[in-house]
C-alpha cells in the first residue's frame, strides 16, 4: 500500500507545517432538553468543543468557527493556515471556539451516544438535527463561556450553513460572518447525498442502524465517502493528478490475471486513490453519524418557516462575505453568488468573492494559503 502522501496525488509537502494546539478541549452539557426543529428533543445533549487563545477582558475577541461534514472541534488541526501570521485568526488576538456538531462522532451527542430516556445508544432512533438546532445549542455553550458577542463567525460547506444560520437566528450576536463554498443544497447535491445514503444502508453490516461498533458497515461507508470525494474534487484536478494512468501499486487494467478480470480487473490510479480515501475514512468516522449529518445538510434551508426569503435575510445585521470556488460543482460558484445577491437584496450587507482554484469544493481545505490570501 503506497503511503498517503503519494496517494494524495503528488503535491509536495508544505515547507512548514503549522501546529495549532487548543488552549482547552472539553465537553459542555446543555441544561435540560434541546427542543428540536423536527418536534422531538435531545435530553441534556453534550457539545464537545475546543478553544484557542483567551477571551479578553472586554469580551470582544471571540470568533466561532463551524466545521464541515467530517470535521471536528479541532479547527487548529484541519484548518491550520487560517491561524498563520497575518492570516484570518490570531492566537494572540482572538478567542477562537469550534464546536463539534450534534450527530457527529467526535465527542458531541450523536447516534452512538446513550439516549438518557432508554439507557441504550440512539442508533437509528437518533432524531433529525437541523442546522438551527446546532446553532441554538452552540449559543448555550457560548453563554456558558461568557461570550455574548462574536467578532466573526465563519465556516465552509456545512460549516458555512451554520455560520449563515447564526446571522439569521442571532443577528445581534456578531459583527461579521464569512460563508465559504455553500448555498442551500441543489438538486444535484441532494442527489449525491441520496447515493451516499444508499451505499451505507444497503450494506448488510449496517443492520438497520443497529450494528455493533466492532462490526460497522465498512464497505458501505467507504463507497459513500468515495461518492462524496468525487463531488469535493474537480474534473481538471483528477485529470492532472491521475489521468488514465494504471494504479500506482502496479495493477494493470488490461492485465489478464485469471478469473474476474473481464468484469472487475486491475484498477486505474484514480480508483486506487478513491479506495484509499474510503479506507482512511472508515477508520475515523461512524456510519450512523455520517447518515445523520447528511440529513442535517439535506434539510438546511435558511428560508424555511419564514413568509419569504427576504423576511429571513432581512434579519441579518452582520457584514457578510460569501466565497464561491470556481471549480466547485457540489456548491457551484454561481449558486453562491446568487445566494449572496438574494441576501443583499433583502437589505443585508453582503459581498461576494470568488476563489479561483482547480481543487473544487475541497479548495477551502486543500488550498488554505490561497484562501487566506483571498480573504485579506
Residues that are catalytic: 157, 328, 361
Binds a copy of itself by CB under 8 A, chosen from 12, 13, 256, 307: 256
Report the alpha-carbon distance of residue 375 to residue 281 in Å, rounded: 30
Binds a copy of itself by CB under 8 A, chosen from 19, 58, 172, 263: 263
Binds a copy of itself by CB under 8 A, chosen from 132, 173, 267, 315: 267
Residue 51 in contact with residue 143, Cβ under 8 Å? no
Residue 194 binds a copy of itself (CB under 8 A): yes
DSSP 215: S
Q: Which string of x and - marks every residue 116-155 that binds a copy of itself (by CB under 8 A)? A: ------x-xxxxxx--------------------------
Distances (CA, A) of 91 to 2, 243, 249, 303: 36, 41, 42, 35
Residue 291 binds a copy of itself (CB under 8 A): yes
Binds a copy of itself by CB under 8 A, chosen from 25, 60, 251, 298: 298
Pick out residues in 307-336 that bind a copy of itself (CB under 8 A).
Answer: 329, 332
Q: Which residues pair with 16 in a beta bridge?
A: none
CB of 206 to a copy of itself, least distance (A): 10
Adjacency order of strands within the sheet including 349-355: 24-29, 46-52, 95-99, 62-66, 150-156, 174-180, 319-325, 349-355
Binds a copy of itself by CB under 8 A, chosen from 25, 60, 251, 261: 261
Report the alpha-carbon distance of residue 147 to residue 49 in Å, rounded: 14
DSSP 84: S
CB of 104 to a copy of itself, least distance (A): 13
Report the alpha-carbon distance of residue 64 to residue 304 in Å, rounded: 24
Upper half-sphere CA count for residue 88 (Cβ side, 13 Å): 27
Pick out residues in 197-236 that bind a copy of itself (CB under 8 A).
Answer: 197-199, 201-204, 208-209, 219-220, 223, 226-227, 230, 235
Region binding a copy of itself by CB under 8 A among candidate stretches 55-63, 87-95, 196-204, 309-317:
196-204
Binds a copy of itself by CB under 8 A, chosen from 47, 141, 180, 185: 185
| Per-residue b or e along 148-160, where b marks 16 or more CB atoms closer than 10 Å to that residue's CB | eebbbbbbbbbbb
Instruction: Residue 108: count other Cβ atoms within 10 Å of its Cβ.
Output: 25
Binding site for a copy of itself (CB under 8 A): 37-40, 103, 111, 122, 124-129, 184-188, 190-192, 194-195, 197-199, 201-204, 208-209, 219-220, 223, 226-227, 230, 235, 238-239, 241-244, 253-254, 256, 259-265, 267-271, 274, 288, 291-292, 295, 298-299, 301, 329, 332
Amino acid at each position: 500500500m503506497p503511503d498517503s502522501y503519494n496517494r494524495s496525488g503528488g503535491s509536495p509537502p508544505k515547507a512548514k507545517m503549522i501546529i495549532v494546539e487548543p488552549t482547552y478541549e472539553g465537553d459542555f452539557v446543555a441544561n435540560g432538553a434541546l427542543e428540536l426543529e423536527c418536534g422531538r428533543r435531545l435530553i441534556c445533549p453534550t457539545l464537545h468543543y475546543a478553544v484557542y487563545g483567551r477571551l479578553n477582558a472586554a469580551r470582544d475577541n471571540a470568533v466561532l468557527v463551524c466545521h464541515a461534514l467530517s470535521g471536528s472541534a479541532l479547527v487548529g488541526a484541519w484548518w491550520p493556515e487560517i491561524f498563520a501570521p497575518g492570516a484570518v485568526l490570531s492566537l494572540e488576538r482572538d478567542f477562537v471556539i469550534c464546536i463539534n456538531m450534534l450527530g457527529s462522532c467526535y465527542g458531541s451527542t450523536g447516534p452512538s451516544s446513550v439516549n438518557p430516556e432508554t439507557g441504550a445508544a440512539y442508533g437509528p432512533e437518533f432524531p433529525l438535527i437541523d442546522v438551527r438546532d446546532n446553532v441554538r445549542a452552540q449559543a448555550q455553550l457560548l453563554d456558558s463561556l461568557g461570550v455574548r458577542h462574536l467578532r466573526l463567525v465563519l465556516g465552509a460547506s456545512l460549516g458555512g450553513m451554520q455560520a449563515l444560520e447564526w446571522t439569521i437566528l442571532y443577528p445581534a450576536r456578531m459583527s461579521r460572518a464569512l460563508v465559504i463554498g455553500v448555498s442551500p443544497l441543489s438538486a444535484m447535491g441532494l442527489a449525491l447525498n441520496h447515493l451516499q445514503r444508499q451505499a451505507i444502508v444497503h450494506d448488510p453490516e449496517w443492520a438497520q442502524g443497529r450494528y455493533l461498533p466492532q462490526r460497522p458497515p465498512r464497505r458501505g461507508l467507504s463507497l459513500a465517502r468515495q461518492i462524496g470525494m468525487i463531488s469535493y474534487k474537480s474534473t481538471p484536478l483528477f485529470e492532472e493528478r491521475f489521468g488514465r494512468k494504471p494504479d500506482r501499486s502496479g495493477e494493470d487494467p488490461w492485465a489478464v490475471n485469471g478469473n474476474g478480470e473481464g468484469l472487475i480487473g486491475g484498477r486505474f490510479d484514480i480508483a486506487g486513490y478513491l479506495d484509499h480515501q474510503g479506507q482512511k475514512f472508515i477508520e475515523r468516522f461512524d456510519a450512523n453519524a455520517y447518515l445523520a449529518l447528511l440529513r442535517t445538510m439535506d434539510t438546511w434551508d435558511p428560508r424555511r418557516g419564514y413568509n419569504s426569503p427576504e423576511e429571513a435575510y432581512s434579519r441579518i445585521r452582520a457584514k457578510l462575505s460569501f466565497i464561491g470556488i470556481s471549480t466547485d460543482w457540489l456548491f457551484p460558484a454561481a449558486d453562491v453568488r446568487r445566494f449572496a445577491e438574494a441576501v443583499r437584496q433583502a437589505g443585508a450587507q453582503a459581498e461576494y468573492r470568488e476563489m479561483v482554484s482547480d481543487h473544487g469544493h475541497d479548495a477551502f481545505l486543500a488550498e488554505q494559503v490561497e484562501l487566506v490570501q483571498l480573504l485579506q
